[in-house]
Structure 1
C-alpha cells in the first residue's frame, strides 16, 4: 500500500526558508483540509446516523488510536461531558500505551494488534456500542486488531483515516477516508492529517449529541457549569429564554444546575 501521508512534501529546502515563507507554506496546505473533509460528508453522515441509533438504544461511543490520532480521540471524548452533560463513560477515548502516552510516546505501543481489545474489555464493551478507529496511516496494528475483534463481537465499527483502501477502512463498517495529501513536513501527520481528524471528530460528536437531544435551538443546554464563564453563559441563555433579568436567571441556574432544568422548571 502506497500511503499518501508518507509521500514527499511539495516544499523543498524547508530548513533554508525564511520564517514567513514557512508559515505561508503551512497555511497554504492547511487551507486544503476542509475541502478534503467536505468530500467525505456522505461517509460522515452514514457514520453519524449509525452511532446515533446505537446510542439511543443505550450504547456508548469508543475511540481507539495511537500517537496524535489517539490523543485527538481522548480530547474529543473528554470534551463531551462538560459540553453536552453526558456521563463520563458514555464517550470513551483510549490511546495505545495507556494514559501516560497522552504526554509521552510509548515505544512500540501501536504495533501490538492484541492490546486494543484488552483495553476495550476493561470497559465491558458490548454489541450495543460503537467503536471508531483513528489512524492517519490507516495501517496501525493496534487499531486494526481492535476493530477486527469488535466486529467479531457485533460492535459497530468505523474509522477516520487519511489514506484510502487500507486495512483499517476494510475492518470498518463505516469508514471515513479523508485524503489530505502529503504533509508540509514529510510524514508529519500531526499536521494536515491531525487537523482533518479533529475536524471530523468535531462534526461527528456534535452531530450525534444534537440528535440525542443534548442541544436546544443552537444552545448547549446541558453543559456543565464548571467555571464563572460557563455560569455566565448559562445565565444569559436562561435570561433570553425566559425573558427575565440576570439575577433571577442566575438564581434559577444555580438552583437547578443546568440551563435545560432551569428553563423546564420555570415553564411547567
Structure 2
C-alpha cells in the first residue's frame, strides 16, 4: 500500500523557484511484513531512491526545482497498532492522505480519535522535553565557539536543529522517526507550517554548503579529523537555527494553547 500524505495530498504545497523553497513529496509505504528493520529498511529506501533517480524523478541540482521525495516504510502491523492507539500522525494520514496503490493484501484498522484534552497534555509534555533540550544545545554552542572548538559547536547545532524539529513533529503529530537526518526531519516538519521552508535556504552554493556541513556534523564533527567548518559558517548557522527556535516556540505554543 502506498499513500501520498502531507502538503501535496492536502493541496497546500509551496514551490518558490527563486529562493529554492519547496515542499517535500511525502510517501508512506506500508509493507505486508515487518521484515525491513534497521539497516534493511535503509537499504530498501536506498534502492527506491536509486530507482527514482535512474527514472529521472530525483535530480541533483543547487536550486531544487523538483520536490524532494521523503519516504517512510512501515509494516501493516505497526501502522494498525498506531491507528488503534490514536497516534495522530497515522490517523491524519488516513483522513487526508491519497491512496496511490493498494495490493489488496491487507486493510487498515479503524483509527481511534483521542479527545483534545488528552492530545493537549501529550503535546505539552513533549514540548517541554524537546524544546528545552534544543535550547540547551544551542546555549552550549557559545562556549565552544569562543574557544575555537568549531567542530563540537557544529555538532551541538545539529543536535539543536534535530531537537527543534522533533518538538514540532511530536507536538503536531505525536510521532517522530528514529533518525538523525535533519533534512528528512525538516521535510516532515514543514508539513505543519510553511514558514519552516525558509529556515535553511539552499538557493546559493554558500547556503547549500553551510547546510551540508550542518547535516554532516552529527557524525563527521565527532569522528572525522578532516571535518572543517569556519567561524563565519557557524555564525550563519546559528542565525538560522535561532530562527528555527523562534518558529518552533511560536507554532507549538499556539497549537497547544488553542
TM-score, normalised to structure 1, is: 0.23
Structure number with the higher helix fraction is: 2
- TM-score, with length taken from structure 2: 0.23
Q: Kindly name which structure, 1 or 2, has the bigger radius of gyration based on alpha carbons.
A: 1
